[in-house]
Chains A and B, each alone.
Chain A
């Protein structure tokens, strides 16, 4: 299990680095999918199979497909990759790199600080997740539902088609 975790974690980190450094947006998105899959394996090794599968279903299987779908429709070709290359000069990397190094240092410090042996990994079955969500965390679930509802209503409003006119010559007459 430990080896599985380390391999998955390394893949996740490497893939995420490639997401940032890739010039071709489609390849970057594919690396993001790989990274999500790796994170899902990490979750599985840490005893959260339900979360792991949801990670794949929702992030890798739905959200990323939608994003790739729209990128596909934009039809960004080689020129965009060249643009990206021009934008992402080495100088650009300095500040984000510094931030990341600080974060990495912090993470290492926290990991090394925590001397206690890792508590025995407890597998959380789906039923327990459901009980928790619809028990103590019910209000959060409801609020999320309301938020999603607002999103759907907003999307409907934005995507609503305007009243069809009979002919484009008549458009001005109707509006006046």
Chain B
């Protein structure tokens, strides 16, 4: 077993760099799909755009509006980064690379993602701005609703593997990945995951064409940067969770080490997130809520019910 501090340090290092690197990746990939070049001047392939962006964020005026609630305003961006980073505690990157092997793994992930809502709500409320408040309202209702389906969709995996522990869930996928028996659960989890990270098809809390920038209209400098990084970390987290729960985690043919398999699969899902951003239009707010409660909710219940019934039938046989 590797020393826990090394794992924590390594995970933090890799995650924060991934989140920063995603700025470049997203801009480059979006540009490619839209038939443009994207940032290609600074450094090889425009990679130094990340550095330039970060420097720019640091030197921007770090402004707190006089009408804002100062303490909450400063506190809100930290919540999103903290809650997402906490979620990574339970992600098994490889058989022996996991920060905490909790036996309530999935529940811990759900708990942390439910705390993530606070950053949007508090950020929007503390800004004391109509657009921000509207964004926060949308964000809160969207994230609370989609958390429900997210949890229910995950329960299918829990029923099949008989454990909340992510390491055991990965081990249970040795014969067949859970994407096969849990296709519906995977689709629901994916949709809920996008809504949970408020990424582009569902970026209704920040919808820049209607709400300026939604809940972070008033934010600038590194505080805005925290929301930004939090979003990319969220994308990485959901991708990592999808891989762990439905695509066999670190499992794969032996010619590559487990960590590499995990990274490759996660990268594929991050790319999918970016591709979705490039190709999907944003639904209306009420359509999103209706779709969630009237379609996804019954489907996820049905998924759980059928999975449990089949599992019981198999056990009793």
Q: Which residues of A contact B (CB under 8 A)?
A: 24, 26-27, 30, 33, 49-50, 53-54, 56-57, 60-62, 65-66, 68-69, 72-73, 75, 125-126
Contact = CB atoms under 8 A, between A and B. Distances in A.
Given A50-B104, A53-B107, A26 B118 contact: no
| Main secondary structure on A side of the interface with B | helix
Query: What are the 3 A-B residue pairs with the smallest beta carbon separation, nearest first?
Result: A61-B114, A56-B111, A53-B107
Nearest to A56: B111
Interface of B: 69, 71-72, 102-104, 107-108, 110-112, 114-115, 117-118, 121-122, 124-125, 133, 136-137, 140-141, 144, 147, 151, 164
A37 B103 CA distance: 19
Contacts, number: 71
Nearest to A37: B115
B20 to A, nearest CB: 28
Contacts of B71: 27
Contact of B144 (A50, A65, A126): A65
Nearest to A44: B104
A121 to B, nearest CB: 16
A53 to B, nearest CB: 4
Nearest to A71: B125
Contacts of B111: 53, 56-57, 60-61
A161 B242 CA distance: 39
Contact of A73 (B104, B137, B164): B137
A61 B125 CA distance: 17
A126 B107 contact: yes
Nearest to B117: A65
Contacts of A27: 71-72
Contacts of A60: 111, 114-115
Contacts of A26: 69, 72, 125
Contacts of A49: 102-104
